[in-house]
Chains A and B, each alone.
Chain A
């Protein structure tokens, strides 16, 4: 068994090696691919979770107390990247009066998220690395006065101050327009050197010029403030303006008439009021009476413009600022790191009323495509595959001292471009291997199998067959191999055909010579026979029965019968053969059926094959006798009454009859001898066999252009009789 298995393995070694190798390669690559993707996903999720926690902590810690306050109380205005230039509510006062002397101290600026970066409108729009910034706010503490505070940082190479008494405003100036509901006011804020400070201090007093609707201008002391220049490391200088506006300049306090006041009314009321309200005591008194921040403070709108005087040409240019500024420290900007990771940042606010309000942030415009506005389970962003999982990753962080909670929501799974591209490449390699395996199978292994099977089939094909090995038309190595073998096959067949023709020629010559010899001998025998038979007839008359010499005459008569063919091999040659078209299929099926009822019955004969349609040219008597002799031989040697199988088949131009029985095998050296006249392996067993049947069968079959051979099978003996089909 081991040898057999080893032999089988050797026979299919190439196939088995290829199959096993490719299977291992497939499994290895597939496992690597699977490991790469799953490990990447899980690792990325874990890592992202930690990252979000870290980022949220950093984000919350990044805001100082004032910024957190601003965020908590002005959240709706800080969500987007841009917001209108409007005042916020700040926790404290950041305004100080103009320091006296050369104090280097600068006032503490408002929280970062109070500022907006100003945007210059066309046509003077220009991108500045340090854009002008603006912060305006109310303080939550009413006791600090009814002021609207202004804080500006402007880029400025030099400052053109306002000369005293110059009502034409031939100087650098900021136009400030404030609107609250129906009330509004417009001022030019100019700078003048302070009265008691040295010029080197680079500080300026703010001089506000109220401008009426009709173009009339007038200094307005309800706006007070100052400015200072600050040199930057890059050589540029920034101009910081700190100012506050008595909010009553917009909404008059006395009398607090309900209704809408025109700008003119505001101005007049200002004059009627007499003086700028700078006395704290008075302000405190008012503070206790007025609601603060003032009603509608969230809707106060401010518009800014900047007039710059060219010191060389003395030409003034006016740059209008957009009413929308870029929000500093907006939630949108803060969410950028999260959006970059395909997560959304939102803020939960637990209101004092117990209500929970969620403030979703909008992503930065540059990153808007990172977030999905739909609910699709898969998105491709910048080459990354973003899968929306059923369990998104959610992390949160409480913002200290506020009622706010930062919350980050991530879709769940992101397969980064590099990962899936690597996976795709591996898949490509995998499919490449599969393609190569398929190609290997189709173009090499399978042809080898087919060639082997066909070659095995051709081994038993007749010499005159024109069958060839397939794939001869292929132009590859298999085709070349097949063509070479076909050429070899042709040459071999040609040689075999020549040898067979030569053998047949010699055989025919021998046969003819034999026939001539037989004929000559028959003629001689007939002549001799006549010369013997006639005297014998006379002797029979002379020596009647009972005569002592009669027995010698009887012996002579028996000897003559043997000598002249009544029982010898020559007698079969003298039996004429008349070839006819006989359907041997029908003939054999009937013969098998009738065998059981013959004079010498042969039971259990089975016929396997077509019932008609196999026509050969045979002598029906000789054919019947030949088959009968083989059946009698099979019946004699079979085991008990085991079946005798007659199997008829046809292949190309040959009809083949197989008559097989179970029983003892014939020694190999006797497989031909059994067809000789008088041979009987059972002659010593005392039965009636005279060794004539198989001789007669071969004699008849060969005279009908057929062939008969015997061979041993695993269970007994098989006689193969073949005839050319009469097509």
Chain B
């Protein structure tokens, strides 16, 4: 039984998310929070398999209360799914670097995208719970590239040449898809399958660009994600 927290200042929206979750996972336990204080208190005391949070938690609280929740989740190591009316949170990326797992959905989000994203987040959470949940294991490479470690059970899920690379869960899935077909190339269509919303080339470009930038941040020489013009991308070992 999953335990999920919804942090959303808008009661109606909060209830909508609850209804969507209950529709798909009737036996799940969902805790609803309308402000940062109550949410933060609960998150400190309890463990959740997934935290769904807005960024702006409305007047009366901190303007970006969702970011504070993200900070507090660093200790709890729960996956965070941001559902916000703000665009892709480039400005707050540094905040999410502290998280084990996170992803982002922009409002208004439809049911299918929401459920898919929640499912993938829970999958991440489950995978982490199945193994030793330590600070990271580098004993066994999990990819064909010896420089790359992807360990969903670890708090540091993506390791490149010994350094952690912070990626959203969507980006990790894209990376996994590329690495599984290292030196072969992956078509755009195959990569679209790993994106929940905005399945178009422009959106894919945004995610691939983010992956490159995150890897380049830890390794300026990084050049493993290659374009296969007109077809897709390829992870070069």
Contacts and interface: CB of A to CB of B under 8 A. Distances in A.
Chain B, interface residues (CB within 8 Å), range: 35 or more
B1 interface: no
B229 A591 contact: yes
A542 interface: yes
**Which of B187, B202, B208 has the largest number of chain A CB atoms within 10 A?**
B202
Interface stretch (A126-134, A503-511, A532-540, A707-715): A532-540
B212 to A, nearest CB: 6
A710 to B, nearest CB: 21
Nearest to A522: B87
Contact of A594 (B107, B201, B231): B231
A560 B109 CA distance: 12
Contacts of B237: none
Interface in A528-563: 529-542, 557, 560
Given A529-B85, A530-B85, A590-B229, A541 B106 contact: no
A695 B205 CA distance: 17
Nearest to B105: A537
A531 B107 CA distance: 10
B201 A533 contact: no
Interface in A612-634: 620-622, 624-625, 627-628
B213 A537 contact: no
B84 A530 contact: yes
Nearest to A582: B227
A534 B54 contact: yes
Contacts of A599: 187-189
B10 A624 contact: no
B86 interface: yes
Given A587-B229, A594-B230, A595-B230, A537 B107 contact: yes
Contacts of A536: 107-108
A278 to B, nearest CB: 147
Contacts of B205: 575, 621-622, 625
Contacts of A566: 198
Interface in A554-584: 557, 560, 564-566, 571-572, 574-576, 578, 580
A571 B198 CA distance: 12
A598 interface: yes
B229 A541 contact: no
Nearest to A587: B229
B19 interface: yes
A622 B110 CA distance: 30
Contacts of A624: 227, 229-230
Interface string B80-119: 0001111100000000000000000011111000000000
Contacts of B212: 578
A541 B13 contact: yes
B16 interface: yes
B87 to A, nearest CB: 6
A597 interface: yes
Contacts of B209: 575-576, 578, 621
A591 B13 CA distance: 46
B56 A578 contact: no
Given A536-B108, A621-B227, A575 B13 contact: no
A15 to B, nearest CB: 52
Nearest to B210: A576
Chain A, interface residues (CB within 8 Å), range: 35 or more
Contacts of A357: none
B208 A531 contact: no
A431 to B, nearest CB: 67
A646 to B, nearest CB: 11
Nearest to B91: A526
B60 to A, nearest CB: 15
A536 B145 CA distance: 44
B206 interface: yes
Nearest to B205: A621
Nearest to B83: A537
A594 B85 contact: no
B227 A541 contact: no
Contact of B108 (A531, A533, A594, A628): A533
A271 B184 CA distance: 155
Nearest to B110: A540
B37 interface: no
A534 B107 contact: yes
B228 interface: yes
B106 A533 contact: yes
A575 B188 CA distance: 18
B15 interface: yes
Interface in B200-231: 201-202, 205-206, 208-209, 212-213, 223, 226-231
B12 interface: yes
Contact of A534 (B56, B213, B226): B56
B16 A526 contact: no
B202 A571 contact: yes
A532 B108 CA distance: 9
Nearest to B106: A533
B231 A533 contact: no
**Which of A526, A540, A597 has the largest number of chain B CB atoms within 10 A?**
A540
Contacts of B17: 541
Contacts of B226: 620
B10 A575 contact: no
Given A541-B15, A557-B108, A530 B56 contact: yes
A710 B51 CA distance: 52
Contacts of A557: 108
Interface of A: 526, 529-542, 557, 560, 564-566, 571-572, 574-576, 578, 580, 587, 590-591, 594-595, 597-599, 602, 620-622, 624-625, 627-628
The 9 closest A-B pairs by CB, nearest first: A541-B16, A533-B85, A591-B229, A530-B85, A538-B12, A533-B107, A598-B230, A537-B107, A594-B230
5 contacts: A537-B107, A538-B16, A539-B12, A597-B231, A624-B227
Given A533-B107, A539-B12, A594-B229, 5 more contacts: A538-B12, A576-B209, A576-B213, A621-B209, A625-B205
Interface of B: 10, 12-13, 15-17, 19, 54, 56, 83-87, 106-110, 187-189, 198, 201-202, 205-206, 208-209, 212-213, 223, 226-231
